[in-house]
Amino acid sequence: MISITNTTNYQAIRDIAAKTWPITYGPILSSEQIDYMFAMMYDINALESQATAKKHHFILAEEDGIPLGFASYELNYNEEPKTKIHKIYILPETQGKGIGKKLIDFIAEKAIANQNTALSLNVNRHNNAFQFYVKLGFEKIGEEDIDIGNGYLMEDYIMEKKAIAI
């Protein structure tokens, strides 16, 4: 049975991202941009800073103690009643088993418990996960290009859905 728990196991998060990113972003981004972004976002100190300074909550999906996926979210994003999903990655070999939905449902429950009325996320415009989010009820509400330095942009859709109890 898959369990979802809060976590500070940043090494497990980093390991999942290291296995997921090349498959997710290899067809979309240059290997140089992937390396740059991964170092910037998944260094252990960077993950700790996201949790403390930026108030990201990390959750881990496990089965029999084996990490399968993770997500991070922030309540009251930009001081609005929205919960921002910053990261969600599932090991490629376990995708399609409902783990991503379980992570998002967990986040929705936390959002509702904190009087947040919507879930928001960004997804690369060419990421196949876009269809996954649509299937879960997210709608594209905009686009943005985020300058992340070193001449790189994150070219994203902004997606949102109402936070509803399941």
The predicted model scores a pTM of: 0.95
Residue 164's pLDDT is 82
CATH of domain 2-162: 3.40.630.30
Residue 28's pLDDT is 94
CA-based nearest residue to 88, from 118, 117, 61: 61
Listed by start position, the domains of the chain span: 2-162
CA atoms within 13 A on the CB side of 166: 13
Residue 31, helix vs strand vs coil:
helix
End-to-end CA separation in angstroms for the chain:
19
Residue 166's pLDDT is 63
Name residues of the chain where pLDDT drops below 50.
none
DSSP 123: E
Rounded CA separation 86/109 (Å): 16
**Tens digits of per-residue pLDDT, 129-146?**
999 999 999 999 999 999
DSSP 118: E
Q: In angstroms, what CA-CA distances link 13 with 6, 16, 43, 125, 147?
A: 12, 5, 10, 24, 24
Q: Which residues contact 42 (CB under 8 A, 6 or more apart)?
A: 13, 14, 17, 18
CA atoms within 13 A on the CB side of 85: 30
